[in-house]
Amino acid sequence: MSDKKATRAAYGETLVELMNEGVDVYAVDADLSGSTTTAKLGKADSKRLINVGIAEQNMIGVAAGLSLTDKVVFTGSFAVFGTGRVYDQIRNTVCYGKLNVKIAPTHAGISVGADGGSHQMIEDIALMRVLPNMRVLVPADYRSAKAAIRIAAKVDGPVYIRMGRADVKQIDSDTGELDLGKARVLRRGSDVTIVACGVEVGQALTAAEMLEEKGISAEIIDAFSIKPLDEQTILNSAKKTGYVITAEEHSIIGGLGEAVSALMSEHPKLLTKPLKRIGVNDRFGTSGEFDELFREYGLDAQSICDVVVQ
């Protein structure tokens, strides 16, 4: 693994790249363009960034209108505002109308850190996953975030991209390009399958190294695309290991864990041990530093390792 970088750092940079490649891309932000990094698109071409101020519902409405003029439109805010405060507009305008709007907030999860529970959005995957016509992508690192933004720009219709504030390690992988509906097997194993998304992918890889020292072989799957889910890759791994664990920086209700649990409930004979879900266990976040929060909420590599060997 190489240097650390936040997934949000990919946002503005990739929008500028797309613009330079001829994509008619626009961003609508709610007074957070510096933090979300959509300001980089505005600096490159001021007419392509529309700042609506602290008016998130209006942000979605403006984005919807722009999309009807054949533009590829991304929205920018913190995840707690960019999904929760605007859920009605996303549901009844963007998704119901199958509009070409990309909901791509930053600062998701407890890794927001010191901003505390009011700003640590841990329900967003559940909110977006349940919506008809919405696709859900959760990149694990900076390069994955760039890929997610490019996929969203290419695919017609609503896409949700979950990005974070914290600097995270880059995942070194030669397992092929990321794509909608595809997962990556980052490490082969025979004893347990760990299906992770977002920042938990890096934690799962570290846990696999710790488990190897205990004689346990862990297969690590990056569930980059949560909706549509790469069911076949997960099933193939479960058939081999018989033991599946999910790990996400999100509530265990409604997110990756429930998606995989629902899948495995239709294939119960593949499992020789009960499926276990690692995530935020029905509680709000709290203020703290990245490492201490991940220990407190049982999301760090050691906690994953402990769940595997229980």
In this structure, which amino acid lies at residue 170? Q
pLDDT of residue 11: 98
Give the integer Cα–Cα distance in Å for 192 and 21. 43
Instruction: Provide the β-strand partners of residue 139.
Output: none
- Is pTM beyond 0.85 here? yes
| pLDDT score, position 175 | 65
Residue 132's H or E segment, with its range, is: none
pLDDT score for 61: 98
CA–CA gap between residue 58 and residue 53 (Å, rounded): 9
In one-letter notation, the amino acid at residue 32 is L
Q: By 3-state DSSP, what share of the chain in percent is helix, strand and coil, each rounded to 5?
A: 40, 20, 40
Compute the distance between CA of residue 286 and CA of residue 276 in angstroms, rounded to an integer. Answer: 24
Which residue is listed with tokens 């799957």?
221
Tens digit of each residue's pLDDT (9 = 90 or more) over 138-189? 999 999 999 999 999 999 999 999 999 999 999 977 666 899 999 999 999 9
pLDDT, residue 1, reads: 42
Q: What are the φ and ψ backbone dihedral angles of 270, each rounded to 5 degrees?
A: -75, -25
56 part of the active site: yes
Residue ranges in the chain modelled with pLDDT below 70: 1-2, 174-176
Q: Of 210, 215, 140, which Cα lies nearest the Cα of 175?
A: 140
Of the residues 13, 17, 21, 56, only one is catalytic, namely 56
Measured between alpha carbons, how far is 47 from 28 in angstroms, rounded to an integer?
11
- For each of the domains in the chain, give its residue range(s) and CATH number, in order of start: 4-169 (3.40.50.970), 184-309 (3.40.50.920)
Instruction: Give the single-character DSSP code of 270.
Output: G
DSSP code at position 27: E
User: What's residue 239's pLDDT?
Assistant: 98
pLDDT for residue 45: 98
